[in-house]
Amino acid sequence: SQELLQQSEKLKLVGELAAGIAHEIRNPLTSLKGFVQLFGYDKQQGQAEYIHIMLSEIDRINDIVGELLLLAKPNKSDFARKNLCSILHDVITLLQPQANMDNIRILNYCEGGSIPVYCVENKLKQVCLNVLKNAMEAMPEGGNISVFCTEEEGRVKIRFQDEGCGIPQEYLPKVGQVFFTTKEKGTGLGTMISYSIVDNHKGEMRFASEVGKGTTVDIFLPLASPAARETVQ
């Protein structure tokens, strides 16, 4: 409806604004961190703890700023035809060491496949990273994460299935809202940013979850056929 459209336009504007501000904050933050570190080398007894806290708080601001930067809308020229299976391979490889430490097996059912999507590679990688990280964080005791890629009705479906804690029904609508988190050290930005990136790709993202059983995240993207390519551009 008209109202929904306006809502989505508003979100885009706010996203652009947030990304712009994040960009401006990054430089002063870097110099701040440098000087705090410098103090750290010259620390007196009793100050070490404060400097440690300052550095970890600066890192936290840095993380948030880094996430907000991802809200910047990509240019049309940033889009290219890429193999989704290679993108997933790269992201899973990146997470493998952490997964091993956490007793998590990532079963990649699209390894070696070839599915063309028209995308901004780094942003799509970020989406997969956000979703997989959430899956891992939902399984403190370990378990399996399965990743599937299929073509359905001219679209690509990426499915991430975990065996984690699940999301209570009443929380489902909140997942993806700015700053909604159930984690002590969460930012509550990852899913919001994933939604925004998937939206920029003319795609769609869906959650299904059962408490105690696990969560399934489906991401639909247009297939990079010549026709789909035109709609993306």
CA dihedral 65, 69, 70, 76 (to 10 degrees): 180
The one segment of 16-24, 78-86, 101-109, 160-168 that binds ligand ADP by CB under 6 A: 160-168
147 close to 158: Cβ distance less than 8 angstroms: yes
CA-nearest of 115, 122, 117, 119 to 79 is 119
Q: Does 196 bind ligand ADP (CB under 6 A)?
A: no
Long-range CB contacts (within 8 A, 24+) of 86-89: 87/119, 87/121, 87/124, 87/125, 87/128, 88/128, 88/147, 88/149, 88/158
Q: Does 127 bind ligand ADP (CB under 6 A)?
A: no
CB of 47 to ligand ADP, least distance (A): 31
Q: Does 15 bind ligand ADP (CB under 6 A)?
A: no
Q: Does 106 bind ligand ADP (CB under 6 A)?
A: no
Name the residue nearer to ligand ADP (CB basis): 18 or 135: 135
* Identified binder of Mg ion from the candidate list 15, 176, 190, 203, rule CB under 5 A: 190
Which residues lie near ligand ADP (CB under 6 A)?
130, 134-135, 138, 162, 164-167, 175, 180-183, 186-192, 215
Which residues lie near Mg ion (CB under 5 A)?
134, 190
